[in-house]
Amino acid sequence: MDINSWLAAHRIDPATLNSQPVVDIGGIQLEFESIAQRFEHPEIVAAAGASLPRGVLLMGPAGVGKTTWSRWLAKRLAGMDLYEVGPEELTADRIRDGFAVLRDKPSILFIEDVDLFGLERSRFGATDLSGGVTKALLGAMDGMVDSPWPLVIGATTMSKFSLEPALIRAGRLGLHITLEAPLTAERRALLDTFASSRAIASDVDWDAIAELTAGWTPADLRQALDDAFGVAVAGGRLIVEAADIKTAFGRRGAIEPTTEVWDPWRTAVHESGHVAVALALQGPAFIRSVSIKPLGGMTKTGEDGQGMADLPADRVRSMFAVAYGGLSAEKAVLGAGTLGVLDDIRTATHDIEVFLACGLDEGFPPIDLRELKHLASERLKTLHSVAVTRLADQACDTADAIVAANVGPIELFAKHLVESSDLSGRELNRALEAAGFRTLAAGGATETIVHSDRFTGDQAEA
């Protein structure tokens, strides 16, 4: 297929753009409006000594609206062509040829799952998982000095810190936008928007549904409404009733809302779980700082700047266990985990997948992540899923065992963290010593960890 035919196959019909309903979540519309105005008034941008953005990185969980808002931008910029491609379809030749064609027309090139070829080399090792795609994309974007087109939008469910720095710097995917899951009022507005095109009874309590769906994305809400229609049809009805809504949303895990008001104690317990596991498996010098804030907590650790492929396999596996420490602590101290642990689980799962892809697990060969997601055989996908589950279960079991031996120290350290909100250096060391964290010894015995005032290693988020 020649490049013009390939692009035509991925061009989004303008009629589809006009049918995309959006709800402003967390003020995200202002971010995209700012981009649109820059392209509408390039003379103002030039007069200010600035330049038009070459690329945008959209971050956020699956289903939060990255594709939808890219379509909104294409619709907002009248006459703009939008092309949506998956990473499995990209090759170095298609990138070079595609940029040569699109440089002459106002256009947006939207790339799904950009992390599948743009992983940070220093963190995940030098294994080439992209077949030169990243290099070709960087070269093509740098080569468009006399044209603002195409505007490249890369989407990822990961943090930008997982991506190759050369890909996300200024002049490339240099504009970074994070899309969050909607809060209660925003979920209510989304439900109104999605329900308006469906035959639904008038007695549904949408306020209650909005309250029960904390953490849900727009895609989650839309799918649950589709499920409700399926429940109604199965019952011989063409109008969705309140009972159908309750059934469909209940099947998808609608829960009582408990996570939208920040609880510093819960956050402190969560971070203390990461600390307990990191201390037991990596040692006290590994902990750099611990902090809690309304937007969440963070435990920074050090790994001497080494990438995953440069570390012993056991060392990498211990990093997976550290990621599960927050969940283990919430369960042990508070009785249950919350939606806040989802980011930890997503990060651990992705790191496990890269660990396998790099061939670091015995018995599982190196594999291209793009091929695994889109092209691999069902047998290989199954084997990979089993391997991911095995490593995740091992990490979770390790974290649970360490946390079970450290419930008291976790509570003591969490109290220090609530009082200070940010611990580092000697203050952190004193808090660790006062808590008396323990590590598991042979035969299930425990021993107190001996601390040091020295904190070394480059920072990396645990």
> Which structural domain, as residue segments, surrounds residue 227?
184-251
Binning the chain into helix, strand and coil, the percentages to the nearest 5 are 55, 10, 35
CATH number of the domain encompassing residue 412 = 1.20.58.760
The answer to whether the CB of 285 falls within 8 A of the CB of 428 is no
| Mean confidence (pLDDT) of the chain | 81
Please tell me whether residues 287 and 419 are part of one structural domain.
Answer: yes
**Residue 207 CB: number of other CB atoms within 10 A?**
13
Q: Which of 201, 228, 251 represents a domain boundary (last residue)?
A: 251
| Residue 374's pLDDT band (cuts 50, 70, 90) | low
Residue 276, pLDDT > 50, answer yes
| Residue 377's pLDDT band (cuts 50, 70, 90) | low
Please tell me whether residues 282 and 188 are part of one structural domain.
Answer: no
Domains in the chain, number: 3
* Residue 157 to residue 444: CA distance in whole angstroms: 38
Please tell me whether residues 173 and 269 are part of one structural domain.
Answer: no
Lowest-confidence range among 232-246, 266-280, 439-453?
A: 439-453
Q: What is the pLDDT of residues 382-391, one digit of tens each?
A: 777 778 888 8
CATH number of the domain encompassing residue 80 = 3.40.50.300
| Rounded (5°) CA angle 248-249-255 | 150
Residue 369, pLDDT > 70, answer no
DSSP string, 307-375: -GGGS-HHHHHHHHHHHHHHHHHIIIIISS--GGGHHHHHHHHHHHHHHHHTT-STT-----HHHHHHT
Q: Which of 137, 152, 178 represents a domain boundary (last residue)?
A: 178
Helix (H) or strand (E) holding 459: strand 459-461
The whole-number average pLDDT for the span 74-86 is: 90
Please tell me whether residues 222 and 297 are part of one structural domain.
Answer: no
From edge to edge, which strands make up the β-sheet containing 422-424? 422-424, 287-293, 296-302, 459-461
Please tell me whether residues 37 and 115 are part of one structural domain.
Answer: yes
Please tell me whether residues 316 and 236 are part of one structural domain.
Answer: no
Is 259 contained in some domain?
Answer: no
